[in-house]
Chains A and B, each alone.
Chain A
Amino acid sequence: MGVTPIKLNFCIFFVNIIIIIKYKILLVCLIFQREGKRLLIDLIVVFPRSSISKSCCGRKSSMAEDSETKKVFDAEAAASLMKELRGTYASGKTRSYEWRVAQLKNLMKIVDDHEKDILDAIRADLSKPEQESYIAEISIIKSSCTRALGELNRWMKPEKVKTSITTFPSSAEIVSEPLGVVLIIGAWNFPLLLALDPAIGAIAAGNAVVLKPSELCPATSSLIAKLVGKYLDSSCIKVVEGAVAETSALLEQKWDKIFFTGSGRVGRIVMAAAAKHLTPVALELGGKCPVVVDSDINLPVAIRRIAGGKWASNNGQACIAPDYIVTTKDFAPKLIDALKHELEAWYGKDPLESKDLAHIVNSNHFARLAKLLDDDKVSGKIIHGGQRDKANLKFAPTILLDVPEDSLVMNEEIFGPLLPILTVDKLEDSFDMITSRGKPLAAYLFTNNKKLKEKFVKTVSAGGLVINDTVLHFAEKTLPFGGVGESGMGSYHGKFSYEAFSHRKSVLYRGFAGDASARYPPYSDRKLKLLKALLSGSVVGVILALIGWS
């Protein structure tokens, strides 16, 4: 079985259904695929492209090789950068609809024109397979841009709201305005996506932006610096490359918003720095994302989705990657067999040789993962994998069974290819296990049991919940993406990105007719009565009070 490359042993046929929904035409391809004895139906739904030209991946472009000696980016440099951006922001340039659209279009061009460069850079930094980078980075940026371009007009419109008799006669609206000059700090695991995806929101909302891509992915970082400089308005959108020193220099400045993706430890530093200037922050952190697996499921599908979310997303180095599995004692052996089988089909007998598996970002993280595995409480629990190659930073998908709850691997975010499986007698017990830890960024449940689903939704607190899949909610633009508790604060994606970088200003219009003198001094008992009626919204009460009856 397994989903080895599609060959003729798959019986494939298509059903094309053209559905017109809201003037858009969808093409639904139903692909029935025989897999062993099981018949699966695949649906791929494709939206029409708006007006994006087809990407040209063959275009040549020299990779970031500029070896100019760089100036140190210190506090002084940060201050002058800020001064410049304040100036351009004050000019009002970034507020115009046209500017925002032009920038978003150019951002789209970056990923269209330089697809190959980007894939190469990410491959160089993380040896991430091109397909992975394409699915998880480029395509998401493209769809974010497309959505922002398509909806910006609507997002920017003031929202009219009703008013009550208390403030009668009046009308009110909520107007969104840019926050000003914002800082976006990206992370290394999705070096392009986590820098540019928030930037799309910031630009759409009309802010001046400074981007700080992760220094742990030098090739991608310098590519972003080069391309953003070339394609976007460099008077309002800047990239600052660097590590701790540069970031500290940036954090000393007064920003109107800081959007940070990374670890809880650095998140605390960012928020404390922001407090000095009363700057609001969005913190996109991580956490141990649990996967609860019931026994009544379509196992092959579930296994693929779990393994896909774990190892096929940057080899577990993702903030929403499954961190550990909880299942019943009886079901665990079946689950493990299926996982092993799938892993072999994907990565071969020797996963260290596989080109389809990303490597560990650097030797620090490699050592951290090795330490988790070498823990006395854990090293005897390996039931699959465990191979590693320090020189090439390769780490095989590793499954651990029934590690103790007080082991290191169960007490910090794994962020790598280790997958502990915990077993419980009754699946409901897993919910307590999950809630007793910090609130994770995501929690996953595989089941067909309706009651269990409802209980899961009600009791488990996490940034996002996905039932019967993993990591997919990230691609869902109509859902807010963000954490709660230890997994962070603030959300983004789609319109939420726009809102994350906007201030929603209340505007109240009052006319001159019919003013209640009761509001103004000198006060009296009669005025109090009128006020009571006004505030309770009772029209009759107001009239009675006015004519002195009540």
Chain B
Amino acid sequence: MAEIENLEPDLEELRESYRSGKTKEASWRKSQLKGLLTLLKEQEKDIFKALEQDLGKHYAESYRDEVGTLTKSVNLALSSLKDWMSSRKAKLPIATFPSTAEVFPEPLGLVLIISSWNFPFGLSLEPVIGAIAAGNSVVLKPSELAPASSSLLAKTIPTYLDKKAVKVIEGGAAVGEHLLRCKWDKIFFTGNPRVGRVVMTAAANHLTPVTLELGGKCPAIFDSFSSSWDKEMVIKRVLGGKFGACAGQACIAIDYILVQEGFAPTLLELLRNMTKKMFGENPRETKSMARIINKKHFLRLKNILDDPSVQSCIVHGGGVDEDNLFIEPTILMNPPLKASIMTDEIFGPLLPIITLKKIEDSIEFINSRPKALAIYVFTKNETLKRRIISETSSGSVTFNDAIIQYAADTIPFGGVGESGFGRYHGKFSYDTFTYEKAILRRSLLTEFWLRFPPWNDFKLALTKSAYSFDYFGFLLVLLGLKIYS
């Protein structure tokens, strides 16, 4: 606890840095972003090593999901910073003529970013990029469940970034609680809904705005395909979106597949074959799939599988290796909807397939469950596409691919309902850590005397005709030609 109590001077230093105004300078923001870029370049090997250690991620996967995506985001922020920082003129409909109005983006102050263990670099630094670009001072609390990554962040960030304005505070739940008691200007949280509620309740004490990036069961609707090229392509994308992203331990990983009854056997066959191609005959040997983060999560997943009614549904894989915290890519056919595999977010390499009479029934299936962070739809049917967009609700919808929306900067990334609120990535990251200050400039030349008391019927009549755009009546009233009582 002694260590926790020492936080206050650190936080005061951060607040002071913000107050001094240096973080608001474009040059500071730029230098920090460049520092981040250098960090990613110079520490690439160490980052790969830490991810290998924490999650058994292959370095290609680490690059694709973390280092590479981050590099792209920093570059985007660097090249767009000037544009983002400029204030926007608001068009005036001249009700307040003569005046000008603009919206001036302003940093929020001192922000807290609490990140998650599944993408310990990506989910930590992606929001940091936004927070720095927006000119805030930042505290980052990486997840203690990925210790190697957390300590690498704590070690490297102070050497590459301004340590008076950006700090990493490591620790578990106790540190988290302590941090939440402090007053922040924004809290950006990635994690599960249970902790999300705790974060928001704590934030309410200080009226701190929050962004909650949670998860949820992301469905993949799989329509029938006939062309073998299409089939191979989409199957790859499905498996990449499930087992390829941190072994399914991703908030936007495919959670389950919805498919039409008749097509299910074909789908299963395709999935089996491609799984073998990707992870080999003996998946325990593969280096291409991550392991489970820790014993607790491993046991949680094992328990899901051990339920007899679920066990009997396994149609592929199912092997577990407790020593190496590895679970084989596992496919299940129609597990009971009441079992925990279909009620809770899976967050692991188990892939249930649910069959439906008609693929259109998937809309009702999805709508009867909490709103997901992402919906994936593999189809060529334009009507189905339109219906999914307008009749379901989710953070995002991706057609004919999975996960890749995470790398698209022009669309916002974030949830709705149970999957959280607030959005980031690209310019949206900047906006998340920015307050848009409205500015109205008036001249002192003119006056609109109708605005002021003492009130009388004359003024009311004038105001009414002004507001009802009856300018002829307005003139009549002014000239005393119209009776206004």
B and A form one assembly: yes
A residues in contact (CB < 8 Å) with B: 3-6, 12, 14, 26-27, 29, 31, 33, 40-49, 52, 54-55, 90, 92, 95, 129-132, 134-135, 139, 142-143, 161-164, 166-167, 170, 172-175, 177, 179-180, 256, 264, 267-269, 271-272, 274-276, 278, 280, 283, 285, 297-298, 301-302, 304-305, 307-308, 311-312, 345-348, 354-357, 446, 448, 453, 457, 459, 461-469, 472-473, 475-481, 484-486, 488-491, 503-512, 515, 517-525, 527-528, 531-532, 534-537
User: Do the beta carbons of A468 and B442 come within 8 Å of each other?
Assistant: yes
Q: Are B61 and A523 interface neighbours, CB within 8 A?
A: yes
Decide if B339 is an interface residue (CB 8 Å cutoff): no
Which B residues lie within 8 Å of A48 (CB)? 469
B390-429 CB mask vs A (1 if < 8 Å, else 0) is: 1101111111110011011111110011101111000000
Cross-chain contact A14 with B90 (CB below 8 angstroms): no
The 7 A-B pairs at the shortest CB distance, nearest first, are namely A521-B288, A523-B60, A275-B200, A506-B411, A271-B204, A535-B68, A49-B469
Q: Of residues B203, B288, B444, B464, which shows the largest number of chain A Cβ atoms within 10 Å of its Cβ?
A: B444
The answer on a CB contact under 8 Å between B289 and A521 is yes
| Set B94, B391, B396, B400: member contacting A512, Cβ < 8 A | B400
Task: Tell yes or no: B446 within 8 A of A by CB.
Answer: yes
The interface residues of chain A lying within 8 Å CB-to-CB of B230 are 512
Whether A167 pairs with B468 at a CB distance below 8 angstroms is no
Residue of B nearest to A472 (CB): B96
By a CB distance below 8 angstroms, the chain B residues around A486 are 207
Q: Are A278 and B196 in contact (CB under 8 A)?
A: yes
Cβ of A307: which chain B residues have Cβ within 8 Å of it? 452
B28 at the A/B interface (Cβ < 8 Å)? no
A488 near B240: Cβ-Cβ < 8 Å: no
Instruction: Give Cα A6–Cα B441 distance, bound, in whole angstroms.
Output: 27
Chain A residues positioned under 8 Å from B60 (CB to CB): 518, 523-525, 527-528, 531
**Contact A346 B454, beta carbon cutoff 8 Å:** yes
Q: Is B103 an interface residue (CB 8 A)?
A: yes
- B233's partner among A297, A468, A512 (CB-CB below 8 A) is A512
Q: With A49-B469, A272-B201, A475-B95 as known contacts, state yes or no: A508 contacts B440, CB within 8 Å.
A: no
Contact with A along B191-224 (1 / 0, CB 8 A): 0010011001101110101001010000000000
> Cβ of B442 and Cβ of A469 under 8 Å apart?
yes
Once the chains are docked, how many angstroms separate the CA of A510 from the CA of B475?
A: 60
- B446 close to A41 (CB less than 8 A): yes
Most A CB within 10 A of own CB, among B91, B452, B475: B452
**By the criterion CB–CB under 8 Å, are B444 and A297 in contact?**
yes
Question: Which residues of chain A are near B452, meaning CB under 8 Å?
Answer: 3, 304, 307-308, 312, 346
Q: Is the pair A506, B395 in contact by a Cβ cutoff of 8 Å?
A: yes
- Interface size of B by CB at 8 A reads 124
Contact of B93 among A27, A468, A477 (CB under 8 A): A477
Stretch at the interface among B5-13, B147-155, B257-265, B430-438: B430-438
B96 and A476 contacting across the interface, CB-CB below 8 Å: yes
Complex CA gap A347/B453 in Å reads 8
Q: List 9 A-B contacts (CB under 8 A).
A: A6-B449, A42-B447, A45-B95, A49-B469, A134-B460, A347-B453, A459-B21, A466-B440, A484-B437
A179 and B394 CA atoms in complex are apart in Å by: 10
B residues neighboring A (CB under 8 Å): 21, 58-61, 63-64, 68-69, 71-72, 75, 90-99, 101, 103-104, 106, 108-109, 185, 193, 196-197, 200-201, 203-205, 207, 209, 212, 214, 229-230, 233-234, 236-237, 239-240, 243-244, 278-280, 286-289, 367, 385, 389-391, 393-401, 404-405, 407-413, 416-418, 420-423, 435-456, 458-460, 463-464, 466-471, 474-475, 478
| Cα of A479 to Cα of B441 in the assembled complex, Å | 12
Q: Hey, which chain B residues are within 8 Å of A524, CB to CB?
A: 60
Contact B205 A519 (CB under 8 A): no
Say whether chain B's binding surface is mostly helix, strand, loop, or mixed: mixed
B207 lies within 8 A of A267 (CB): yes
Contacts of A465 in B (CB 8 A): 104, 437-440
Are B397 and A457 closer than 8 Å at their CB atoms? no
Residues of A close to B90: CB separation below 8 A: 476, 478-479
Rounded to whole Å, the gap between the CB of B248 and the closest CB of chain A is 13
Report the Cα distance A40→B201, complex, angstroms: 53
> Shortest Cβ distance from A340 into chain B, in angstroms?
15
Instruction: Please measure, in the bound complex, the distance between the C-alpha atom of A462 and the C-alpha atom of B437, giving whole angstroms.
Output: 7
Give Cα A90 to B240, complex, Å: 34
Which of chain A's residues have a CB closer than 8 A to the CB of B451? 135, 304, 308, 312
**Residues of A close to B469: CB separation below 8 A:** 46-49
CB–CB A472/B408 < 8 A: no
A166 to B65 CA separation, bound complex (whole angstroms): 12
Query: Is B455 a contact of A467 with CB atoms below 8 Å?
Result: no
The one of A283, A473, A510 that contacts B438, using a Cβ cutoff of 8 Å:
A473
Among A276, A285, A346, the residue within 8 A (CB) of B197 is: A276
Cα distance, A139 to B465, chains bound together (Å):
11
Known: A46-B466, A506-B412, A508-B401. A467 touches B214 (CB 8 A): no
**Known pairs A92-B391, A467-B442; A131 contacts B455 (CB<8 A):** yes
In Å, the complex CA distance between A131 and B243 comes to 66
Give the contacting residue for A130; candidates B205, B404, B438, B460; CB below 8 A: B460
Contact B448 A42 (CB under 8 A): yes
Task: Please determine whether B410 and A162 come into contact, CB atoms closer than 8 angstroms.
Answer: yes
Contact A468 B63 (CB under 8 A): no
* B residues near A274, Cβ cutoff 8 Å: 200, 204
Contact A537 B64 (CB under 8 A): no
CA–CA, A457 and B421, complex, Å: 30
In the complex, which residues of chain A have a beta carbon less than 8 angstroms from the beta carbon of B412? 174, 504, 506
- Nearest A residue to B90 via CB reads A478
Contact B405 A508 (CB under 8 A): yes
**Bound form: Cα–Cα A145–B357 in Å:** 45
Instruction: Give A344 Cβ to nearest chain B Cβ, in Å.
Output: 11
- B274 → chain A, closest Cβ, in Å? 9
Q: How far is the CB of A125 from chain B (nearest CB, A)?
A: 17
Check B64 against A476 for contact (C-beta < 8 Å): no
CB of A13, distance to nearest CB on chain B (Å): 10
Specify which chain B residues have a CB less than 8 angstroms from the CB of A347 in the assembled complex.
453-454
- A304–B454 alpha-carbon span in the complex (Å): 12
Q: Are A489 and B367 in contact (CB under 8 A)?
A: no
Note all chain A residues with C-beta closer than 8 A to B478.
Answer: 6, 12, 14, 31
A residues less than 8 Å from B96 (CB atoms): 469, 472, 475-476
Instruction: Name the distance in Å between B214's Cβ and chain A's nearest Cβ.
Output: 7
What is the CB-to-nearest-CB distance from B385 to chain A, in angstroms, rounded to a whole number? 8
Whether A531 lies near B443 (C-beta < 8 A) is no
Say whether A521 contacts B437, CB under 8 Å.
no
